[in-house]
């Protein structure tokens, strides 16, 4: 019984000691956990901005291209990094601003492009350095000593003396994170250079956005929002319009816009007013090539597809010939001779004429005595007498056909060949026994 009591006491002491150790070595820290977006905010990254602008009577339209430009009295937020892919866009954008438009750009974008040089604003250094250095200074001072008085009540702190960089660290300050802008909040005021305040004069904003060395270049700003870290936004006139530049890309997303006074700062930057249209140009995007061809060249596209399908159909494997095969038959002698003559007539009509003349002379030699000793004129006279009266021979035409001379056209050669061939066939119809002596004329006498 006594041993059981001792065991219970030892167990209780161990449990108490373990609990005390856990309590002593455990710290309870509150951690902010981002809740997931729900509803329309989960699908529309600019849902909060739409609501803020709608409360001021303005409208928001998100575009993916700079054509066409918004109305002359609208606000254009240029967030696209590829907007100047076409060189002529810079000139059109400048003309739109000078005609009365309001352009909103950020410092990082102006430094990274060769365009927008007509805006009288400049940046001396990357705008995130001042904010990131202040944030790094606050974190270091809080970890080193709780009594560090370098921070003011707004959270702005001057960078502490540089300390030794821990192993494995780069020592470079972190860039301004727009996705977690509430970690870098500070007081922002409209300075004395402001001639057109966004709201009531002298208002102080709690802005969670970057600031930097933003300065005018030969122009007097009409609105300037700055704090101890530097200038957050500045507006200068350009022609009849204006350009508002921010030190970095402002946090206009659903989370960043709801931090501190970011909604009021956004309304001031965009000049939200009743009836004003705000256009937000994000990264350039175009419809896919096939859809563009369908919308812009539907008829040629359909013809090309039909031609491709027809060509593929012709190349398909077939079970028979494409057309009926001609019957296999031996060609007649007449077809062979005519085919050979047509070939020679098309390639060398002069040779065909010579062959026709030889055939004519061979037949005439059997019909007229001493044919070889006669000239062409006497031969034609004898032939005319032999063929009369059944056949009337055109002596002049036959003389020209027997001696065509240097003919150039194939048709002339063929005409001469036809005339000689007709005379030869007329002689063939005359019996070989009806031979006429050379030099005879007229008809035979009894």
User: Model confidence over 115-155: pLDDT tens digits?
Assistant: 788 888 887 654 444 444 444 444 444 434 443 333 333 43
Rounded average pLDDT over 148-174: 39
**From CA 245, how far away is CA 249, in angstroms rounded?**
9
Q: What percent of the chain has pLDDT over 70?
A: 81
Range from 39-53, 142-156, 365-379 carrying the lowest mean pLDDT: 142-156
Q: In this structure, what is the dihedral angle of CA atoms 148, 153, 158, 162, given to the nearest 10 degrees?
A: 30
> For 82-99, how does the pLDDT look when each residue is reduced to its tens digit (9 = 90+)?
788 888 888 999 999 999
Rounded average pLDDT over 233-243: 91
**From CA 235, how far away is CA 196, in angstroms rounded?**
10
Q: Is the pLDDT score of 171 beyond 50? A: no
Domains annotated for the chain, with CATH where assigned, are 41-135+173-281 (3.40.50.880), 333-428 (no CATH)
Rounded average pLDDT over 431-439: 61
Helix (H) or strand (E) holding 190: strand 186-190
pLDDT of 124 reads: 63
pLDDT of 433 reads: 59
Q: Is the pLDDT score of 100 beyond 80? A: yes
Peptide bond before residue 389 is cis, with ω within 30 degrees of 0: yes
Rounded average pLDDT over 360-368: 87
> For 280-300, how does the pLDDT look when each residue is reduced to its tens digit (9 = 90+)?
888 777 778 888 888 888 999
pLDDT of 284 reads: 74
Q: What percent of the chain has pLDDT over 90?
A: 10
pLDDT of 63 reads: 86
Q: In this structure, what is the dihedral angle of CA atoms 118, 121, 124, 125, given to the nearest 10 degrees?
A: -90
Mean pLDDT, the chain, whole residue set: 77
**How big is the CA angle at 375 (ends 369 and 381), to the nearest 5 degrees?**
65
CA distances to 111, 226, 258, 310 from 179, rounded to whole Å, are 22, 21, 12, 56
Q: Is the pLDDT score of 41 beyond 90? A: no
pLDDT of 414 reads: 85
Range from 305-309, 318-322, 331-335 carrying the lowest mean pLDDT: 318-322
pLDDT of 164 reads: 40
> For 48-77, how does the pLDDT look when each residue is reduced to its tens digit (9 = 90+)?
888 888 888 889 988 888 888 898 889 999
Helix axes 47-55, 262-270, angle to 10 degrees: 70
pLDDT of 163 reads: 40
Q: Is 404 helix (H, G, I), strand (E, B) or coil?
A: coil
């Amino acid at each position: 019984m006594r041993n059981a009591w001792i065991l219970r006491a030892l167990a209780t002491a161990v449990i108490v000691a373990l609990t005390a150790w856990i309590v002593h070595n455990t710290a309870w820290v509150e951690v902010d956990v981002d809740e997931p977006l729900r509803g329309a905010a989960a699908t529309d990254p600019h849902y909060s901005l739409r609501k803020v602008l709608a409360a001021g009577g303005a409208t928001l339209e998100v575009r993916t291209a700079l054509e066409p430009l918004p109305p002359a009295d609208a606000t254009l937020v240029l967030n696209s990094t590829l907007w100047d892919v076409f060189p002529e866009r810079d000139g059109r954008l400048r003309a739109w601003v000078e005609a009365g438009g309001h352009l909103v750009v950020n410092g990082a974008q102006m430094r990274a492009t060769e365009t927008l040089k007509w805006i009288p604003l400049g940046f001396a250094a990357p705008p995130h350095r001042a904010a990131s250095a202040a944030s790094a200074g606050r974190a270091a001072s809080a970890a080193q000593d709780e009594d560090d008085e370098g921070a003011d009540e707004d959270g702005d702190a001057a960078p502490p003396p540089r300390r030794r960089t821990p192993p494995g660290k780069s020592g470079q300050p972190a860039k301004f994170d727009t996705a977690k802008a509430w970690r870098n909040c500070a007081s922002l005021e409209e300075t004395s250079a402001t001639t057109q305040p966004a709201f009531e004069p002298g208002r102080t904003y709690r802005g969670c956005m970057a600031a930097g060395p933003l300065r005018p270049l030969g122009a007097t700003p009409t609105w300037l929002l700055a704090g101890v870290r530097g200038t957050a936004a500045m507006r200068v006139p350009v022609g009849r319009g204006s350009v508002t530049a921010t030190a970095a890309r402002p946090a206009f997303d659903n989370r960043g816009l709801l931090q501190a006074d970011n909604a009021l700062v956004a309304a001031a930057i965009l000049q939200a007013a009743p009836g004003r249209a705000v256009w937000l140009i994000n990264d350039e995007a175009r419809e896919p090539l096939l859809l563009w061809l369908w919308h812009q060249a539907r008829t040629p596209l359909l013809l090309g597809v039909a031609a491709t399908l027809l060509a593929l159909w012709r190349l398909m494997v077939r079970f028979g010939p494409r057309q009926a095969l001609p019957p296999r038959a031996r060609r007649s002698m007449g077809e062979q001779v005519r085919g050979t003559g047509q070939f020679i007539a098309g390639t060398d009509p002069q040779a065909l004429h010579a062959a026709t003349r030889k055939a004519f002379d061979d037949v005439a030699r059997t019909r007229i005595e001493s044919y070889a000793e006669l000239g062409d004129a006497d031969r034609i006279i004898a032939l005319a007498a032999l063929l009369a009266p059944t056949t009337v021979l055109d002596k002049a035409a036959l003389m020209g056909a027997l001696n065509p001379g240097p003919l150039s056209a194939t048709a002339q050669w063929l005409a001469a060949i036809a005339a000689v061939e007709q005379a030869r066939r007329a002689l063939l119809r005359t019996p070989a026994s009806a031979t006429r002596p050379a030099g005879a004329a007229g008809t035979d006498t009894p």
